[in-house]
Chain A
Amino acid sequence: MIDWDVITQSLPEFWGGLQVCLLLLAISVGTGFVLSVPLAMARVSARRWLAWPVWTYTYVFRGTPLLVQLFIVYYGFAQFEVVRESLLWPLLREAWFCAWLAFALNTTAYTTEIFAGALRATPAGEVEAARAYGLAGWRLYSRILLPGALRRALPQYSNEVVGMMHATAIASTVTLVDITRVARDVYANHLLPVEAFGSAAVIYFVLTFAMVGVFKLLERRYLRHLRHQRTR
């Protein structure tokens, strides 16, 4: 029924695809995290000129498909002479760079909203107490607001990271040889959809639950103070 030979033969390619998937995920999510913290602070700011541009950015990037964003970066920018002659062109010509740019900008938009929501959920008493102790500005953020908000954001953030791992499959459309691309190549060579896409599905599935497990451990550590409140 299942042609195991085809699967064992393509295992080295799938291993390479797995590495591409994880590397792309790591650099995109890493960039996303670093950018999202200050952007979330700007998003919840009472100063309109700070909050409004961030709102526009997240609205645009969350309102359009990632696939289209990737195509705009990878195929779109090349339309302009200015871009082709700029210093950035050697980078924008690279599928890796384009995928990283599109994925990082996309996940930053979602992560910013997650962190901003968590910041807004800070109990008012915490901020009042911190202000009473004389904390303000950056110190209020770094010692009180951010540690609490990032913890509260953990469950949603883990969804975003797993979602991003699934989204890396889209990079297969711009010549990156990730797990999905390998599966499509195996399918094209052998016309065996179950073997090709089944193998890819198993890899993604195991990866998903491994990541969910790691995040569960993180939640157990960082949300320990909430454990007794759990109903289930």
Chain B
Amino acid sequence: MFHGYLGAILGGLGITLATAALSLAVACGFGLLGAVAKLSRSRTARGLAETYTTLIRGIPELVLMLAIFYGGQILVNRLAEAKGWDYIDVPPFTAGVLTIGFIFGAYLTETFRGAILAVPRGQMEAATAFGLTRSQALRRILLPQMVRHAIPGFANNWLVMVKATALVSIIGLDDMLHRANMAASATREPFTFYMLIALVYLAITTVSIGLLMLLERRFSLGVKGIRF
């Protein structure tokens, strides 16, 4: 039915998932940085974070991806030229991961900012009273408690991000959709292959929703629920 392309497409699934997972890690980094910057006392930091989130939310992902992929390539090589290095080829995988991470970092900034604000003030005050240093308090008190509040927004972003990884096929990354494109044109059966990967994406979504529900339950242990 799949003319022997099933293996290749499932191999592409690995690349899709790797892109999504690494992008998520990058996005969490940018998101935490952005959230801390937005809540900081420094006006410069707040201004930078505000510019970052506003810009990213005003421009389509595809355009940002193309801009960063092609623009980044030229920027890196101008730098290399100035330093007298050889031509550097930015691999699409790196460009894709960095771009998606950078974009969704802006959305996660808002999620994390809200989550940090949702942790009661007294928690940090108590941590200080117990003599914890600022970084200890952040790591042991604030972060574990903010996770619970961040999960719904985080889950949403993950689901949107997995689907956004389909766009990396446009900048030449050999992901699931890219392989489906090739299989479709080789066999002249586009419906079969696009439908196959649509089902795979649906499966990823379904599994993700299940896992995130478990995660939410784990991090909400000890929180009194309301029974309707």
Contacts and interface: CB of A to CB of B under 8 A. Distances in A.
Interface of A: 59-60, 62-69, 71-72, 75-80, 166-170, 172-173, 179-180, 183-184, 187, 193-194, 197-198, 200-201, 204-205, 208-209
Contacts of B58: 204-205, 208-209
Interface string B146-158: 0000000000000
A67 B168 CA distance: 11
B124 interface: no
A169 B62 contact: yes
Given A63-B206, A65-B163, A65-B201, A71 B63 contact: no
27 contacts: A60-B202, A63-B201, A64-B202, A65-B163, A65-B167, A68-B198, A72-B190, A72-B194, A72-B195, A72-B198, A75-B194, A76-B195, A78-B190, A79-B192, A80-B191, A167-B60, A170-B167, A173-B170, A180-B60, A180-B62, A183-B63, A187-B70, A193-B67, A194-B71, A197-B67, A205-B58, A208-B58
A17 to B, nearest CB: 11
A193 B188 CA distance: 34
Interface string B76-110: 00000000000000000000000000000000000
Given A180-B63, A197-B66, A200-B63, A72 B191 contact: yes
B70 A79 contact: no
Contacts, number: 108
B59 A205 contact: yes
Interface string B180-207: 0100100011111011011001100110
Interface residues of B, number: 37
A152 to B, nearest CB: 19
Given A79-B190, A194-B71, A197-B67, A166 B201 contact: no
A67 B59 CA distance: 17
Residue of B70, B170, B177, B195 with most partner-chain A CB within 10 A: B70
